[in-house]
Amino acid sequence: MVQSALTIRGLRYAYGAHQVVDGIDLDASVGAVLGVLGPNGAGKSTTISLAVGTRRPDAGTVEIFGLDPYRRHEETSQLAGVMLQDGGLPMSAKPLAVLRHLSSLYANPRPIDEIAGILGIPEFASRSIRRLSGGQRQRVALAAALIGRPRIVFLDEPSAGLDPQARAVVHDVIRELAATGVAVVLTTHDLTEAEALADDIVVIDRGRIIARGAPEVLRSSSGLGRRLVITVPDAPDPDSEAGHRFAAALSAVAPTTVQGTHLIAAGDLDSTAIAALCTVIAEAGLSIGDIAMQSQSLSEVFFDLTGRPLR
């Protein structure tokens, strides 16, 4: 049985009258990456702060390996590594001093040289945190989250602002964590990253989970993620009367949109519907240039779900 590292049920939180987390249920499993996606202001960071026990929920429960992270913060902070967006690093300290200090708080820390080496920290170790670039600070914050050998890590946009090389290193580190049995909760705006790393994804919008599943399931569930594209080179101008008639005849068969010479029908159409669309095209005296089933990217699926782009 897959062991749950994080269990959240009925979580609610409001800033004053603003309900930001509105009944969230989620689970993160050991040895797996859970991707948490959602547009700006969706409530992701607030959910993470409730999950790690730095805020107290208004309602609902959170358990990290069976412990309430708010009431038993001392114990759960030994189990959980946290990398937040603002970093929370002391500005005047140097990276290795920060890691040495944190390392002293854990019973069995990772060797500092090892984690610093993996993340390329030695190349800027002589400077204080204040004098590091955003990407360099990110790497120190990630090392800080991992130094205590956590059994679950919360990574809030860990690769935002990193150059491609550093980003690839961070992705390798995340894969390695999951492969060694760590539960990873990864908040990201980067859908390519989510598809590449996450075993499961939850999409949060306005404080609620509006979709969940493995990336490939999310893309294919309820017809989302697939669309039929028929190219009609001589399609009439959509604003002309012929264009209106053509669009109406198509829509009588299946929900379609005409974009220039492309006729697009969302969802998985069966062969009868595809044949009926072809008949409409032939009866309008038009020919077909190409027919293709396309997979939508996760980003297009996301837009369909929330009505908003991720950024």
Ligand X SMILES: Nc1ncnc2c1ncn2[C@@H]1O[C@H](COP(=O)(O)OP(=O)(O)OP(=O)(O)O)[C@@H](O)[C@H]1O
> Rounded to the nearest whole angstrom, what is the least distance from the CB of residue 38 to ligand X in the complex?
5
108 binds ligand X per the rule CB under 6 A: no
Spatial contact of 218 and 224, defined as CB atoms under 8 Å apart: yes
What b/e sequence results for 108-121 when a residue is b if at least 16 CB atoms lie within 10 Å of its CB, and e otherwise?
A: ebbebeebbebbeb
> Rounded to the nearest whole angstrom, what is the least distance from the CB of residue 303 to ligand X in the complex?
16
Residue 41 vs 134, nearer CB to ligand X: 41
Site for ligand X in 2-41 (CB under 6 A): 15, 18, 20, 38, 40-41
55 binds ligand X per the rule CB under 6 A: no
Dist. CA 235–CA 277, nearest whole Å: 13
> Rounded to the nearest whole angstrom, what is the least distance from the CB of residue 82 to ligand X in the complex?
14
> Which of residues 35, 43, 150, 215 is near ligand X by CB under 6 A?
43
44 binds ligand X per the rule CB under 6 A: yes
Residue 78 vs 85, nearer CB to ligand X: 85
Spatial contact of 125 and 163, defined as CB atoms under 8 Å apart: no
Residue 84 vs 230, nearer CB to ligand X: 84
Dist. CA 209–CA 173, nearest whole Å: 27
> Rounded to the nearest whole angstrom, what is the least distance from the CB of residue 43 to ligand X in the complex?
4
Spatial contact of 235 and 261, defined as CB atoms under 8 Å apart: yes
> Which of residues 11, 27, 33, 46 is near ligand X by CB under 6 A?
46
Spatial contact of 168 and 158, defined as CB atoms under 8 Å apart: no
Site for ligand X in 271-290 (CB under 6 A): none
Residue 15 vs 122, nearer CB to ligand X: 15
> Which of residues 8, 27, 37, 45 is near ligand X by CB under 6 A?
45
- In degrees, rounded to 5, the angle at the alpha carbon of residue 146 between the alpha carbons of residues 143 and 149 is 150
Dist. CA 284–CA 249, nearest whole Å: 9
> Rounded to the nearest whole angstrom, what is the least distance from the CB of residue 45 to ligand X in the complex?
3
Dist. CA 83–CA 101, nearest whole Å: 16
Residue 83 vs 280, nearer CB to ligand X: 83
Q: Which span sits near ligand X by CB under 6 A: 43-51, 95-103, 142-150, 222-230?
A: 43-51
Query: Binding-site residue total for ligand X (CB under 6 A)?
Result: 11
According to DSSP, residue 275 is labeled H
Residue 206 vs 262, nearer CB to ligand X: 206
Dist. CA 15–CA 158, nearest whole Å: 25
Measured in whole angstroms, how far is the alpha carbon of residue 50 from the centre of its chain?
18
Tokens of 296: 């939508």
Residue 145 vs 204, nearer CB to ligand X: 204
Residue 58 vs 172, nearer CB to ligand X: 58
What b/e sequence results for 221-243 when a residue is b if at least 16 CB atoms lie within 10 Å of its CB, and e otherwise?
A: eeebbbbbebebeebbeeeeeee
Residues that bind ligand X (CB under 6 A): 15, 18, 20, 38, 40-46
